[in-house]
Amino acid sequence: MLVVFLWTFAEYTLHRFVFHYTGPRPWQRRMFFVLHGVHHDFPQDSDRLVMPLGASIPMGVAFYALFRLVIGPLLVDPLFVGFGLGYLAYDGSHYAVHHFRMGSGLGRWLKRYHMIHHHTGADARYGVSSPLWDWVFGTMSERTRS
């Protein structure tokens, strides 16, 4: 269960503070657009839903190194596997909310929750696979400003 909290917290934190960071300089705004802004401009583009390997592999290495430093070599592998599975679940759910009709009530709710982030509240609802941290940090409202 700890790995679920860890993954959803990482997803929220990265999405809110890294992928939505524009910065004051032109190169920072360009970096935002290339890494994430284009996804907001073209949310139905299936080529823009998964982080490129050139970004996801270094991030994975950094997370592995951080986990190993914090919890040691004995537990790092199972934790990292669970974290990787969380990333795959996130990618799958993100793709699904953008490209599939959601049949279940939970699926429809998650799709609406994420589409509000894209269309009316880009400064809110940073969780994709879970709204947990949006509830914790008060970013559920589409009017929230970070």
DSSP 77: H
b/e string for 31-59 if b means 16 or more Cβ within 10 A? Answer: ebeebbbebbeebeeeebbebeeeeeeee
3-state SS class at 141: coil
Q: What is the pLDDT of residues 122-143, one digit of tens each?
A: 678 888 888 899 999 998 875 5
The confidence band for 48, taking pLDDT boundaries of 50, 70 and 90, is: low
What percentage of the chain exceeds 90 in pLDDT?
32
Mean predicted confidence (pLDDT) in 36-58: 75
Mean predicted confidence (pLDDT) in 29-33: 81
- How is the chain split into domains, by residue range? 2-137
The confidence band for 144, taking pLDDT boundaries of 50, 70 and 90, is: very low
Per-residue confidence (pLDDT) for residue 62, from 0 to 100:
95
Per-residue confidence (pLDDT) for residue 145, from 0 to 100:
43
Q: Phi/psi class of residue 65: alpha, beta or left (left: φ > 0; alpha: ψ in -120 to 50)?
A: alpha
